[in-house]
Amino acid sequence: MNIAHPTIDYQTMKIEKITICNLTSLEGEQVIDFTQEPLRSASLFAITGDTGAGKSTVLDAVCLALYNRAPRFDGVERANAEDVKSIENRAQAIQAGDVRGILRRGCKEGYAKVVFATLSGERYEAGWSVRLKRTGSYDRQVRTLRQLSPRKADFPEKEINSRIPEIIGLDYMQFTRTVMLAQNSFANFLRAKREEKSSLLEKLTGTEIYGRISQKIHEMTKQAEGEVKALEQLVSGILHDRLHEEEKTALEEERSLITVSAENIAGRTETVRRQLQWLDDYDAARTEVTQREAEYVAANKAYMAMNVEETALERYDAVLGVQPLFQEIVVRRGDIEAIKRNEVSVAKQIEELHAQLQHTAMTLESAREQMYNAESTFSARRPAINRGHTICGEIAGLDGQLKRAEEQLLTARRNGEEHTARLQAKKEQLEKTAALLEKSLLRQQALMVHRMMFDKFDLVKDKLNALTAETCRNEEVHKKHAALQKQQTMLKAASEKVEEKLHADEARMTALKSELLIHRQMNQGLDSMQLQQRFADNRNRLLVLQRAKALWQRISSGYEEIEEKEAEVGRLVSRQGQLQKDMERMERELAVLDEAHRRQSVALTLSQSENIKQLRQRLKEGTACPVCGATHHPYYTETERELGELLTNLEKEYEEATAELAEKRATFEAMTREYATRQGRLESERTNLLSRSARQAADVEEWSACAHLDSSFSDCSPSVARDTRRLMIGLLLDNTMRSVKEAEKDLETFNFHQGHINRLNEEISALELQMADNRTHIDDLRTQYKIASAAEEETERVMQLSDRSCGELYADLDQMVTLSGWFTEWKNNADELRLRLTDLFHDWQQTCAAVEEHRNAEVLLREEVKLGENTLSETRRLLSAAQDAHSCVENLMATKRDELARLFGNGSPEQEEHRLQEEVDKARAAETAARAAHEETGGKLRLQQGTQRNLLESRLHSQAEYSRKTAELDTWILRFNGSHSPMQFAELEQIFADTRDWKALRVSLNARKETVTLTANRLQMSRDALQRLRNMTHRPTGEGEESREALTATLESLQAEAENANKRLTHINLRLMAHENCLKQAAAYAGRIETARTDCEEWRRLDSLLGSHDGKKFRELAQSYTFAFLVEHANAQLRMFSPRYELRNVPGRLTLEIIDRDMFDEHRYVSSLSGGETFVVSLALALGLASLSTGSLSIGSLFIDEGFGNLDHASLDLVMTALSNLENAQGRKVGVISHTEQIRSQISPQIHLVKQPAGGRSVIRIR
């Protein structure tokens, strides 16, 4: 294969600055600026530091800022929910692979920022940050991206995931393979075994997709084959119901004859049903008339029961106009009575106020005299009080002086005590310091013997580390040499054993193929998918038919129940109609009687009114009537003789009308109750009928799912022959049951042989794979034997070099280490010797520091003791002066207090002044109160006198208005009595005092009137409907052959004939429909089968090339091509920085050979490479992968993790030459993450991560 050498275009993306804050060991903000010296001009630099200092954190920060991912979290196994909940600090419990876990413990927030530039001159800053909430739990991480130049812009956070790959040109996986070179991973690849190389290369290059494609092709091939088999089996099952031509003709002729007969039966059946329906409708109409008559009677009775309320409402409406005048008269009468009561109360209050005014005048005079006496006494004592105030002021000043003197005295005493104690403490400290100084000098003298070793301690430590590492390597080399010899023996024995196993597998293969041939002959011509489809179709058809049988039973029963309930409802309606007619007649009679009874009741009530009787008794001839004003009264002249006879007749007629009305009402109420009972039963029957019809409709709708079983099944009306259909369903069930059993038996036989075929195929495939693996294993064992021989020779050479290096290191250390027997101790426990040397060195440093510290402290303490003695003398002098000042102030204060006692005794001038002032204030307040009380009483007296005059005027005005309104009401009553029954003031009071809701009463009366009208209209409509039924021409007579029983028997006979005809017709239609359907369905599947076969052949060809059940075929092919491209890209890189070497892959295998140009193009195995050569080859592969991942795109910043351990001088020179060429040839800025002193000392400048003494934190230093 000819592969063109790739071209390289660098400097499309370059990192300018990295800012890190509070991530893992890096506390606080740390900045790495590649635009500042010394990093600006350096193309090659090192990232150095002790283990755990945070070197990998720098690369993690770059990935976090750009992609919100970090290499340290890739592939980390996620903990389950129980493990996360069991973490002690629940607030910070997160998954192990959560990038927020990079936040430094104990810090509230952290961030990472990267500034980078592109080839077009654009500069961007990408940021990532995380913080803790107040609860201590992690908040979500925040990402930022902004453009710095040539213009400034901020990108929304939701767009960052898509914008970063657009700007850089790489996704996360490409970036990690390109910027952080996988040199160490390729070093592992070179040392890996054959079975491990495939998985390693797959992870490095991302070619795992080809294995999934191979598996998918294999799965799609199997799926296409299964689809072809399924379609062929389906068509075979469909053609099961095909008829011969003679059977088809006979069935069609029989169907025509049965169809004509069924139409004749259906016409006769419809006529009988209409006659039966008329009988039902007639009964229903009669029932409805009866019900309407009962409703009308009940409504009219309810209206008549409110005759008394209607009369009261009419009386209230008649007097409603005078209600405001009446209410005003009542209010005026109440006002007059209230004014009279107030006049009596005010007169009594005026009398009391006259007496109270005389008493307040006497009290005022006495208060004025007491006020004059108190003011005179206060003026006489004023000089003594003023002198007392002066003395108190002087005593207060002396008291302040005394307190200050006491404070000064106390301070002087306390200072003396403190200075004495401090001086004593300094003396004791001086003695302790002198003792410590003497002890440190003795220890320093004892350690002086190792002074030369302490001066070269760093060199001793490095030499010991180198000796330890070289010794370990020497031991490993010896062990490796022995292991290689042992490996050669084992490889030879294993090869012989595998060859024997291969011969045995060939014999077993022959036996398995013979057995497989027998089972294939038994299943020849059969198809699994067809058998399974046939069994599944028959079983599904059986389930559908069983459900159809149960459903049809419910539908048949439902139609019978509905017919019975419809007939019962018709009978009830007819009886209700007749009862309603009787109720209408009775209701008319009741209305006539009720009206006559109401008139008689009104006449009798008026004749018996107590007011009328009393007025008539008080009338006298010649005296004016109080109602109409007439002086002639015919009541006593013309009608008195006939009154007795008239009243007797009224009472007798009223009693007879009341008895007749009660009897009619009782009869009407009985008819109403009977009507309501029958109507309730009718409604119940109708409700049951509707409910049963709804269930029947649901069953009929469900039957549509079974209509496909036969062409006649689509009709589910009541006219269908139910028994015929039930018989048809039974026949279909029997046929389908037989088909299910036959299909199940055929399928079981096929599956028995197919199971053996599958088992044998699997065993043969496994055996073939095993034999192929054995052959490959034999080749591998032979190759490994050759490799082991070459490795043994190389190991022996390395072993000799290692022995020489150990001897040189021992000689250098023996001259510098002053401890006796150090080599024996190092061999027994190197770490313990290193710890002992470190402790001695630290002890020497601490002892020297302690000597210097104690000498300085001793000089300082001696000066402090001398100063303390001088301070103590001055403090004692100040104490004596404070005591003298305190005694003088005490004597002067005693003199002032004696003078104050002579003036006021035990009291004080303030108390004496306060007492006299209180007496004066008390007298003044008493005078003021007495004067106010006198004035207040006089005001109240004048106010009550004015109130008395106002009440008199108001009472006279109210009396006049009351008389006027009373006269106006009398006039209205006189006019009202002229056109209505007599009315008096007492009756008006009774009407207006009634609390009934007159508006609600009026609404109730109107509603009952409307109910009477509505029920009358409904009754008339029901009677008209009944009459229309009677006028129909086709109605049956109801006797003989047209009686209900005869018609029902005729209908049953016709239904039986129709059902028998339908059963046979259904059976014929089922057979013919099944024949037509199977032909149509088979024709419909022909195109699908042809398409499926074509697709299957395409998938088989693709599967033969690339498909396999484990994805191995296409994956290995893709990996071989990818590996060839990778080697070409690696050679392009290798020619730039180390042209001595060239890589060549063995065709068809993941094996590399090295061509050494300086050794006449010698071909070498990778196992023979030295440490430096391994680094060069793995670096070329890593750069090749980066170039392969990005195509023409490349990155201006690279990071290389060296990972190759200690090197000899030749290998070290080779590595440094390669790095230098990489820097010069490609112009990239290359950062080497160094773990060893050898590389660290060869590269400058360095980004050095320095561990701090405590807290596990590091800082970044550029040097």
Top-confidence residue, 156 or 1050 = 156
On whether residue 103 sits in a domain, the answer given is yes
pLDDT tens digits, one per residue of 277-290: 888 887 888 888 88
On whether residue 134 sits in a domain, the answer given is yes
Q: Confirm if 318 and 311 have CB atoms less than 8 A apart.
A: no
Within 10 Å of residue 357's Cβ, how many Cβ atoms? Answer: 16
Q: Which alpha helices (H) appear in 994-1111, and where do they start and end?
A: 998-1030, 1044-1106
* CATH code of the domain in which 332 resides: 1.10.287.1490
DSSP annotation string for 1145-1181:
EPTTSS-EEEEEGGGTSEEEEGGG--HHHHHHHHHHH
Last residue of a domain, one of 993, 1026, 1061: 993
| Residue 823 scores a pLDDT above 50 | yes
Pairwise CA distance, residues 641 & 22, whole Å: 130
Give me the number of domains the chain comprises: 2
Cis peptide before 150 (omega within 30 of 0): yes
Length of the chain: 1263
Within 10 Å of residue 64's Cβ, how many Cβ atoms? Answer: 30
| Residue 631 scores a pLDDT above 50 | no
| pLDDT > 90: percent of the chain | 4
Q: Confirm if 8 and 1128 have CB atoms less than 8 A apart.
A: no
pLDDT at residue 340, rounded to an integer: 83
Cis peptide before 1245 (omega within 30 of 0): yes
Instruction: Return the bridge partners of 46, or none.
Output: 1232, 1246
pLDDT at residue 641, rounded to an integer: 44
315 band by pLDDT with thresholds 50, 70 and 90? confident
The stretch 315-324 carries a mean pLDDT of: 78
Region for 1156 from its dihedrals, namely left if φ exceeds 0, alpha if ψ lies in -120 to 50, beta otherwise: beta
Pairwise CA distance, residues 842 & 863, whole Å: 32
| Residue 5 scores a pLDDT above 50 | no
Pairwise CA distance, residues 521 & 515, whole Å: 10
Which residues form the domain of 146?
A: 11-179+1197-1263
Top-confidence residue, 1131 or 458 = 1131
Which one-letter amino acid corresponds to residue 1003? V
Pairwise CA distance, residues 987 & 1007, whole Å: 29
On whether residue 572 sits in a domain, the answer given is no
Last residue of a domain, one of 936, 969, 993: 993
> Please, what is the Cα angle at 177 between 173 and 178, to 5 degrees?
115
pLDDT at residue 628, rounded to an integer: 46
Residue 482, helix vs strand vs coil: helix
| Residue 1195 scores a pLDDT above 80 | no
pLDDT tens digits, one per residue of 584-612: 888 888 888 877 777 777 666 655 544 44
pLDDT tens digits, one per residue of 1011-1038: 888 888 888 888 888 777 777 766 676 6
On whether residue 974 sits in a domain, the answer given is yes
pTM flag (> 0.85): no
pLDDT at residue 147, rounded to an integer: 93
Q: Average per-residue pLDDT in the chain?
A: 77
202 band by pLDDT with thresholds 50, 70 and 90? low
On whether residue 372 sits in a domain, the answer given is yes
The stretch 843-871 carries a mean pLDDT of: 80
Pairwise CA distance, residues 317 & 837, whole Å: 128
129 band by pLDDT with thresholds 50, 70 and 90? very high
pLDDT at residue 148, rounded to an integer: 92
What are 439-444's contacts with CB under 8 Å, separation 24+?
440/847, 440/850, 440/851, 440/854, 441/851, 443/843, 443/847, 444/847, 444/848, 444/851
pLDDT tens digits, one per residue of 1212-1238: 666 777 766 665 655 667 888 876 676
On whether residue 124 sits in a domain, the answer given is yes
Last residue of a domain, one of 993, 1020, 1055: 993
| Residue 11 scores a pLDDT above 50 | no
pLDDT at residue 273, rounded to an integer: 81
On whether residue 413 sits in a domain, the answer given is no
Alpha-carbon distance values, 552 to 292, 549, 737, 1061 (Å) = 41, 5, 19, 18
On whether residue 560 sits in a domain, the answer given is no
The stretch 711-732 carries a mean pLDDT of: 77
Top-confidence residue, 1181 or 767 = 767
Nearest to 107 by CA among 30, 19, 20, 24: 24
* CATH code of the domain in which 142 resides: 3.40.50.300
Top-confidence residue, 736 or 606 = 736
Q: Confirm if 63 and 102 have CB atoms less than 8 A apart.
A: no
